[in-house]
Amino acid sequence: MGKIVCFGEVMMRLAPPGVERFGQCTSLGMTFGGAEANVAVSLANFDHEVSFVTRLPQNPFADAAIAQLRGAGVDTTDIARGGERIGIYFLEKGASMRPSKVVYDRKYSAIAAANPGDFDWNTILEGAEWLHTTGITPALSQGTAALTLQAAATARELGLTVSCDLNYRKNLWTHEQAATTMGELCRNVDVLIANEEDAHDVFGITAKGADIDGGHLDAAGYADIARQLAERFGCKYVAFTLRESRSANDNGWSGLLYNAATDSYVQSRKYDIHIVDRVGGGDSFGAGLIHALSGGKDDEAAINFAVAASALKHTIEGDFNRVSVAEVNALAGGSVSGRVQR
């Protein structure tokens, strides 16, 4: 498998200790994360050659973010330097019936102020076989929307496989803006990834028989949505994460993969997970799927690897999924007891 390129924003993450609320904490822990950066780190853990592309300012916080990515085995050569600030997000972890909260402070970040002239996609994508991005990056500004569209179109022209996670964020843009931009972007996407809400929020398509708040998801309904998306945009695969939200701490977790060539779908096994940190769960699913499909796994093996990888991420603090292929394979193979390994 050749190089995988991930394009997006890496942010500083600031969070109170444990499950403290913003209004009661006296300190904030600093780490880094972001949808596409999370995918890049996961893929590096899976022994892929992976490059992360973004724009960051010249300051110590950006230097620290780059150092963490490099330390995880990610190539940062194509990160452009410029702009005034690194994006920030604040995370308040939920517990029981109290949901987690995210507050963004990313307006006017370095990547949001970027424009298509800041990156030479033909050079960046030379020798690569896969490009991954999400619906978060084009939501940041008109410039990042144009950059993402340019990257995907260039990748398609060069014969790369293109994957995209819809990742709708209501705090960043409207449904109408998302539908217009993502509709154009998805025409260059081979592997489209979404969750149980994204298809509705972006394209107005709802799964029959789904009750997200009540924790009921109907696989056949999502397979029908996947079919509609594949037909509309020409995607080869459409994958869904299926989260049964019983509380902020306990979820049912599974996935579904639709193959347009065979007009068929497979559903993974379901895991009952007790959550340590759910941020990055979808990103680890995307990375697992990229690893599995790029490695030639069949549909059933691919979706089970992706779901197992993301189930493990929910047990790890921070945005990054720090697990190996062997650990994912062990879980996908049925090792779910969590017994001490000696």
The verdict on residue 210 lying in a domain is yes
Neighbours of 260 (CB within 10 A): 18
* pLDDT tens across the length of the chain (342 residues): 689 999 999 999 999 999 999 999 999 999 999 999 999 999 999 999 999 999 999 999 999 999 999 999 999 999 999 999 999 999 999 999 999 999 999 999 999 999 888 999 999 999 999 999 999 999 999 999 999 999 999 999 999 999 999 999 888 899 999 999 999 999 999 999 998 788 889 998 876 655 545 555 678 889 999 999 999 999 999 999 999 989 999 999 999 999 999 999 999 999 999 999 999 999 999 999 999 999 999 999 999 999 999 999 999 999 999 999 999 999 999 877 676 565
Return the H-helix or E-strand segment holding 206: none
The verdict on residue 75 lying in a domain is yes
As a whole number of Å, the CA-based R_g of the chain is 19
Domain that holds residue 299: 3-332
Chain centroid offset of residue 191 CA: 13
Alpha-carbon distance 154 to 171, whole Å? 29
Neighbours of 114 (CB within 10 A): 23
Q: Do 11 and 55 meet the contact criterion of CB atoms below 8 Å apart?
A: no
pTM exceeding 0.75: yes
The verdict on residue 68 lying in a domain is yes
Our count of domains for the chain comes to: 1
The verdict on residue 46 lying in a domain is yes
CA distance between the termini of the chain:
33
Domain at 114, CATH number: 3.40.1190.20
Q: What are the CA-CA distances from residue 52 to residues 5, 97, 144, 217 (Å)?
A: 6, 36, 15, 34
**How big is the chain, counted in residues?**
342
Alpha-carbon distance 140 to 184, whole Å? 16
The verdict on residue 337 lying in a domain is no
The verdict on residue 258 lying in a domain is yes
The verdict on residue 338 lying in a domain is no
Alpha-carbon distance 235 to 221, whole Å? 18
The verdict on residue 184 lying in a domain is yes
